[in-house]
Amino acid sequence: MTSPIAALACLIALPFSVVLAQEKADPAPLSSVAHKSILKPIQYVEYDLPNGLHVILHENHGVPVIASYVLYHVGSKNERPDRTGFAHFFEHLMFEGSDNIPRGTIDKYISGAGGNLNASTSFDQTDYYLNLPANQLKLALWIESERMMHAKIDEAGVETQRQVVKEEKRRGVDNQPYGTLFENLAALVFKNTPYSWVPIGSFQYIDQASIQEFRDFYKTHYVPNNATLSIAGDFNLEETKKLVAEFFGPIPRGPELERPKVELPPQKELQKLDVLKENTPLPATLHAWRAPKETDPDAYPIELLGSILSEGRSSRLYKRLVEKEQAALDVEAFPYLLENAGMLGVFATGQRDVTLDQLDTMITEEVDRVKSEGVTQEELQKALNQKETELASAFGTMNSRAKNLARYHVFYGDTNLINTELDRYLAVKRDDLQRVANKYLTPEGLNLLRYPVPAVTEAPAQVPLQKK
Amino acid sequence: MKPFLCAFLLSLAAASADIDRTKKPEPGPAPVSSFPAYALKTLPSGLKVFVIEDDRKPTLTLRLLIKSGSASDAEKSGLAGFVASLLNRGTAKRDAATFASESDFIGMHVEAVAGADAIAVSASGLTKYTDKILDLFSDAVLHPAYPAEQFAKEQRKTLSALAAEKQEPSRLAEKLAGKVLYGAKNPYGAYRTPETVQAITRDDLVQFHKTYFVPNNATLAIVGDVKTADIVALVEKAMEDWKPGDLPAFKMPAPAEIKGVNIHLVNRPGSVQSNIVLGEAGPARNSPNVPELNVLNATLGGGFSGRLFQNLREKHGWTYGAYSAFDLRKYAGAFQANAETRNAVTHLAIAETLKEIARLRDEPVPEAELELQRQYNVGNYLLSLENTSRTAQRVQDIDLYGLPADFYKTYATRMESVTPAVIQDLAKTHLSTENVAITVVGEAKEIQPELEKIGKVFVYDTELKLQ
């Protein structure tokens, strides 16, 4: 098993010997010195309104545009188990209108102002964004403050959006190969917690939810003290502070929220699920282990481990499964770290003539190899360089800046991480990767989710089948 | 946080009476969308190099456009795709693994993709690695080795991917729609199949590369935190071996004529939704009315405020989205309207789409609605200028498609001044309810009977073979 790595070391010895030599000579990591001069700092101001709304403003006159981004700290994990899909469904209703905005006109106001808009719902958050020419800042503030102050929800809107959301789920889940992957994965890995269902939820609960429940949900979660307003772009800072106060200041503070608890007792044994679906064209397997929440110090070595396993054609899993064995079409290791829990998954889609057992053996062997042998210094340096490129490339548009400033504030309590997060990666040591691999990627902590290709002639395999 | 809070409390007290939240706030004067400045340098080899200096990020992005794409596949559909995807899998001096290690180590990405009219080779990374990026990029573009073993691996993967596509409704719809819109004999209507993929040889790749990867058939766009003179000098040095070549004459057959209302139904058993692509003939990219056609399309299906979205989704709740687009290619084009609907309403969604097309032909768009669509297009064009890579692509498009040099300089003004009469005229010329090719991927036993009432139905299996 060491031959691919030995071969790699020989191949890259020449081009990178200079870098490695400097690293040995200098105890400070080379790239931590270099990055300070290359990442461009993003300036911003932030403050709270008396009603608790957190405001972040990034003034930038490069192009005459503004990005408005409102993050509500409520997602599918705030739902009751018998109301899954509620937060996402509610997100659709927030486009209906308000006391002062007639029903169905929000998108027309934004389009007519030359802008665009959207929203999304995840496990931990619901966010709304508006991108507009810079002269339309007030329109953005008006719409977002109206939605926060007195959104209006009536039966007609609820019924239409019920149908729309069902089509959204059919499109993304039921009519796609592997469409139920994430739903099944969350149910396995995060069993008995509010992370065990996915934001799109279930049809039956969307039908059962009453209008009064929507109103209660709104009163509880869509309050300024549970929201962050982040604006980036071409505006005057002092003027904008004044406008923000005028539009959002009158919104009353809401009750303090009780945050959902996510308690995951250690997983004691392997969990396995084979999902038999008629529309599965190629065998696919997913290995997933619980991982720390996103703010845990171990989050950084886990992210880097994911890169070493599958980022680029020189990564371990790609080289083994795709290049060497020609067993997989593609393989991806994906850390999925949330506010209160996390996972590391490895997903591989097999070629037509490959069995799931073959794919599983290869993944297991590669994971075991990281655990027993650790990673090389070149692999760590490569992962850090990839992360540096990713972070340096990530925050170009005003929308990406507004969004990430808010995300770092809400989930890390440190808005300035937009400028400094790379330092946390650079602090990771080679040993940390082997340590986290052994800590989290245990045999008893494994969740194995597989999509076999349905056999045309044989009876279904003797595995617990998904009921649907 | 505290200092801001104090300042803010004062301003709140003074200002809360200034706004009237019962009315939509009026905007200030609209910003002007001036097309960003760029430099053009022509290298001695004939390669045109466009540079946009952008210091927001410490990165460098290169995009080489080879002005030949899958339309040049001849009978071997998929050829240009292989030429592109194998470009970074080994060169004369680096084998595939070495190339991957060296580019991964600096966090650089080099990828090439083949479109119908061009192959785009893109590379991006940090400016501190500029020399290395240019070295790897030029090595891939000038000296790909197309190792037999890498080609065999890619061919094998492609055959598996084609097997998977039989279950992907959007891919099935896209492939069949292209075929029925452009015709089986037109390269724009072709798609790769197991037979064409197996017919391609390594020599075909080498020959395609030798023929089309010449500087007189390419443009290069550079975007990033660079100085034009410096980066052009570096590129010139990195690509100094590149010599012009003779290009073969290229003749594009005319697309097939679409006559009558025909429904091409791919029977995908188990489907809980129908993927609908309503297609018509359309103009080529260099048609004189593209800015105005964009406003026409936006009115019908360009976004959340388009008529298709408002009708099919917001009024009826039949779909998650409904959009339309002109697919404008170099030698021909098409118009397509898309929606994914539950099985039971498939025919209703098609009927309403046809009704919306008829309404644009029969009635002028009310001025208020058109004004919204003008502003939507002009404003979103302004917003797109934030993306400098997109600006670079537009500059390359002017060259690729032979557009007037001032196309993007006059783009916003032209969209802003389009009248209801012009829109109705264009709808009559370019949209039809009588000559329509409708592709549907779905559960035939549930949807076919109602579809028969709309037009003649042709049924295909998931290999897209006519039944």
The pLDDT tens digits for B413-433 are 999 999 999 999 999 999 999
Of B22, B27, B380, the CB nearest to A135: B27
Rounded distance between C-alpha atoms, residue A56 and residue A413, angstroms: 13
Rounded distance between C-alpha atoms, residue B393 and residue B113, angstroms: 14
Q: Under an 8 A CB cutoff, do A312 and B55 touch?
A: no
Task: Give which of A96, A328, A450, A307 is closest to B153, Cα–Cα.
Answer: A328
Q: Under an 8 A CB cutoff, do A246 and B19 touch?
A: yes
Half-sphere exposure of B136 (CA within 13 A, CB side): 30
Which CA distances in Å does B309 have to A149, A174, A208, A313?
Answer: 28, 22, 26, 41
Of A111, A167, A323, the CB nearest to B342: A167
Please, what is the angle between helix B148-165 and helix B202-212, to 10°? 100
| pLDDT tens readout for residues A77-129 | 999 999 999 999 999 999 999 999 999 999 999 999 999 999 999 999 999 99
Same domain? For A179 and A272 the reply is: no
The answer to whether position A413 is within a domain reads yes
Write down the pLDDT at residue A463.
40
**Residues ≥6 apart with Cβ < 8 Å to A53:** A148, A224, A225, A227, A228, A229, A248, A251
pLDDT at B10 over 50: no
Residues of chain B with Cβ-Cβ distance to A47 below 8 Å are 1, 4-5, 8
pLDDT at A10 over 70: no
Residues of chain A with Cβ-Cβ distance to B313 below 8 Å are 164
| CA–CA–CA angle A35, A36, A41 (5° rounding) | 110
Same domain? For A289 and A232 the reply is: no
pLDDT at A19 over 50: no
Rounded distance between C-alpha atoms, residue A19 and residue B431, angstroms: 61
Q: Under an 8 A CB cutoff, do B160 and A351 touch?
A: yes
Write down the pLDDT at residue B17.
52
Rounded distance between C-alpha atoms, residue A429 and residue B198, angstroms: 47
> What number is the ipTM of this complex?
0.92
pLDDT at A4 over 70: no
Residue of B22, B35, B61, B126 to mutate, testing the A interface (most A Cβ within 10 Å of its Cβ):
B126
| pLDDT tens readout for residues B186-222 | 999 999 999 999 999 999 999 999 999 999 999 999 9
Rounded distance between C-alpha atoms, residue B172 and residue A373, angstroms: 45
The answer to whether position A167 is within a domain reads yes
Of A45, A133, A329, the CB nearest to B379: A133
The answer to whether position A14 is within a domain reads no
Write down the pLDDT at residue A8.
26
Give the total residue count for chain A.
Answer: 468
Phi, psi of B248 (to 5 degrees): -65, 155
| Confidence category of residue B315, pLDDT binned at 50, 70, 90 | very high
What value does the mean pLDDT take over residues A407-431?
97
Of A65, A108, A326, the CB nearest to B383: A65
Same domain? For A208 and A279 the reply is: no
* CB crowding A93-123: b at 16 or more within 10 Å, else e: bbbbbbebbeebbbbbbbbbbbbbbebebbb
Write down the pLDDT at residue B15.
43
CA A82 to chain B, closest CA, distance in angstroms equals: 24
Residues of chain B with Cβ-Cβ distance to A307 below 8 Å are none
pLDDT at A25 over 80: no
Same domain? For A304 and A160 the reply is: no
Same domain? For A420 and A306 the reply is: yes
Q: Under an 8 A CB cutoff, do A312 and B100 touch?
A: yes
Structure-token pair, residue B241: 């071996």
Q: Which range has the worst mean pLDDT, A34-38, A200-204, B40-44, B190-194?
A: A34-38
Structure-token pair, residue A299: 């989050």
| pLDDT tens readout for residues A368-417 | 999 999 999 999 999 999 999 999 999 999 999 999 999 999 999 999 99
The answer to whether position A462 is within a domain reads no
For tokens 């440190």, the residue is: A414
Residues of chain B with Cβ-Cβ distance to A164 below 8 Å are 313, 317, 319-320
Same domain? For A80 and A169 the reply is: yes
| CA–CA–CA angle A459, A463, A468 (5° rounding) | 85
**Residues ≥6 apart with Cβ < 8 Å to A454:** A276, A277, A278, A280
Write down the pLDDT at residue B162.
97
The answer to whether position A278 is within a domain reads yes
| pLDDT tens readout for residues B446-466 | 999 999 999 999 999 999 999
Write down the pLDDT at residue A39.
79
Write down the pLDDT at residue B1.
31
Write down the pLDDT at residue A466.
37
CA A262 to chain B, closest CA, distance in angstroms equals: 31
Rounded distance between C-alpha atoms, residue B211 and residue B73, angstroms: 12
CA A150 to chain B, closest CA, distance in angstroms equals: 12
CA A463 to chain B, closest CA, distance in angstroms equals: 22
Contact B255, B332 (CB under 8 A): yes
Residues of chain B with Cβ-Cβ distance to A317 below 8 Å are none
CA A193 to chain B, closest CA, distance in angstroms equals: 29
The residue of chain A nearest to residue B28, with distances taken between CA atoms, is A135
Task: Give which of B303, B313, B306 is closest to B348, Cα–Cα.
Answer: B313
Task: Give which of B284, B295, B254, B256 is closest to B425, Cα–Cα.
Answer: B295
Same domain? For A152 and A216 the reply is: yes
CA A267 to chain B, closest CA, distance in angstroms equals: 34
Which domain range does residue A160 map to? 45-248
First to last CA, chain A: 41
CA B457 to chain A, closest CA, distance in angstroms equals: 23
Q: Under an 8 A CB cutoff, do A249 and B272 touch?
A: no
What value does the mean pLDDT take over residues B334-361?
98
Write down the pLDDT at residue B34.
82
Write down the pLDDT at residue A206.
84
* CATH number of the domain bearing residue A325: 3.30.830.10
Rounded distance between C-alpha atoms, residue B93 and residue B76, angstroms: 29
Q: How many domains does chain A have?
A: 2
What value does the mean pLDDT take over residues B337-350?
98
Q: Under an 8 A CB cutoff, do A329 and B160 touch?
A: yes
The residue of chain B nearest to residue A165, with distances taken between CA atoms, is B320
Pairing of strands B436-442, B261-267: parallel
Same domain? For A271 and A196 the reply is: no
Rounded distance between C-alpha atoms, residue B450 and residue A248, angstroms: 52
Write down the pLDDT at residue B36.
87
What value does the mean pLDDT take over residues B259-288?
97
Task: Give which of A111, A114, A152, A145 is closest to A128, Cα–Cα.
Answer: A145
Of B11, B163, B272, the CB nearest to A170: B272
Residues of chain B with Cβ-Cβ distance to A382 below 8 Å are 104-105, 107
The answer to whether position A393 is within a domain reads yes
Write down the pLDDT at residue A203.
83
Of B26, B272, B378, the CB nearest to A174: B272
Residue of A95, A150, A171, A320 to mutate, testing the B interface (most B Cβ within 10 Å of its Cβ):
A171
First to last CA, chain B: 70
Residue of A167, A278, A388 to mutate, testing the B interface (most B Cβ within 10 Å of its Cβ):
A167
Residues of chain A with Cβ-Cβ distance to B30 below 8 Å are 114, 133, 135
What value does the mean pLDDT take over residues A340-366?
97
Rounded distance between C-alpha atoms, residue B432 and residue B449, angstroms: 24
| Confidence category of residue A456, pLDDT binned at 50, 70, 90 | low
Of A65, A171, A311, the CB nearest to B273: A171
Q: Under an 8 A CB cutoff, do A107 and B12 touch?
A: no
Q: Under an 8 A CB cutoff, do B163 and A281 touch?
A: yes
Mean pLDDT of chain A: 89
For chain B, what percent of residues have pLDDT higher than 90? Answer: 93
* CB crowding A344-364: b at 16 or more within 10 Å, else e: bbbbbbbbbebebebbbebbb
SS in 3 state form for chain B?
CHHHHHHHHHHHHHHCCCCCCCCCCCCCCCCCCCCCCCEEEECCCCCEEEEEECCCCCEEEEEEEECCCHHHCCCCCCHHHHHHHCCCCCECCCCHHHHHHHHHHCCCEEEEEECCCCEEEEEEEEHHHHHHHHHHHHHHHHCECCCHHHHHHHHHHHHHHHHHHCCCHHHHHHHHHHHHHHCCCCHHHCCCCHHHHHHCCHHHHHHHHHHHCCHHHEEEEEEECCCHHHHHHHHHHHCCCCCCCCCCCCCCCCCCCCCCEEEEEEECCCCCEEEEEEEEEECCCCCCCHHHHHHHHHHHHCCCCCHHHHHHHHHCCCEEEEEEEEEECCCCEEEEEEEEEEHHHHHHHHHHHHHHHHHHHHCCCCHHHHHHHHHHHHHHHHHHCCCHHHHHHHHHHHHHHCCCCCCCCCHHHHHHCCCHHHHHHHHHHHCCCCCEEEEEEECHHHHHHHHCCCCEEEEECCCCCEC
Write down the pLDDT at residue A99.
95
Count CB pairs under 8 A between chains A and B.
264
Residues of chain B with Cβ-Cβ distance to A396 below 8 Å are 56-57, 387
Phi, psi of B128 (to 5 degrees): -65, -15
Same domain? For A215 and A273 the reply is: no
| Confidence category of residue A31, pLDDT binned at 50, 70, 90 | very low
The residue of chain A nearest to residue B271, with distances taken between CA atoms, is A175
Rounded distance between C-alpha atoms, residue B299 and residue B373, angstroms: 6
Radius of gyration of chain B (CA): 25
pLDDT at B130 over 80: yes
The answer to whether position A174 is within a domain reads yes
Write down the pLDDT at residue B11.
38
Same domain? For A289 and A236 the reply is: no
Ordered by where they begin, the domains of chain B are 39-238 (3.30.830.10), 261-460 (3.30.830.10)
pLDDT at B173 over 70: yes
Residues of chain A with Cβ-Cβ distance to B168 below 8 Å are 176-177, 281
| pLDDT tens readout for residues A150-199 | 999 888 888 999 999 999 999 999 999 999 999 999 999 999 999 999 99
| pLDDT tens readout for residues B61-99 | 999 999 999 999 999 999 999 999 999 999 999 999 999
Same domain? For A286 and A163 the reply is: no
Residues of chain A with Cβ-Cβ distance to B28 below 8 Å are 135
Residues of chain B with Cβ-Cβ distance to A375 below 8 Å are none
* CB crowding A160-190: b at 16 or more within 10 Å, else e: bbbbbbbbbbbbebbbbbbbbbbbbbbbbbb
Q: Under an 8 A CB cutoff, do B317 and A392 touch?
A: no
Structure-token pair, residue B204: 């075909």
Same domain? For A198 and A321 the reply is: no
Residue of B53, B160, B369 to mutate, testing the A interface (most A Cβ within 10 Å of its Cβ):
B160
Rounded distance between C-alpha atoms, residue A132 and residue B380, angstroms: 8
Max CA separation in chain A (angstroms):
72
Q: Under an 8 A CB cutoff, do B273 and A146 touch?
A: no
The residue of chain A nearest to residue B31, with distances taken between CA atoms, is A64
Write down the pLDDT at residue B33.
75
SS in 3 state form for chain A?
CCHHHHHHHHHHHHHHHHHHHHHHHCCCCHHHHHHHHHCCCCCCEEEECCCCCEEEEEECCCCCEEEEEEEECCCHHHCCHHHCCHHHHHHHHCCCCECCCCCCCHHHHHHHCCCEEEEEECCCCEEEEEEEEHHHHHHHHHHHHHHHHHECCCHHHHHHHHHHHHHHHHHHHHCCCCCCHHHHHHHHHCCCCCCCCCCCCCHHHHHHCCHHHHHHHHHHHCCHHHEEEEEEECCCHHHHHHHHHHHHCCCCCCCCCCCCCCCCCCCCCCEEEECCCCCCCCCEEEEEEEECCCCCCCHHHHHHHHHHHHCCCCCHHHHHHHHHCCCEEEEEEEEEECCCCEEEEEEEEECCCCCHHHHHHHHHHHHHHHHHHCCCHHHHHHHHHHHHHHHHHHCCCHHHHHHHHHHHHHHHCCCCHHHHHHHHHHCCCHHHHHHHHHHHCCCCCCEEEEECCCCCCCCCCCCCCCCC
What value does the mean pLDDT take over residues B42-47?
96
The answer to whether position A169 is within a domain reads yes
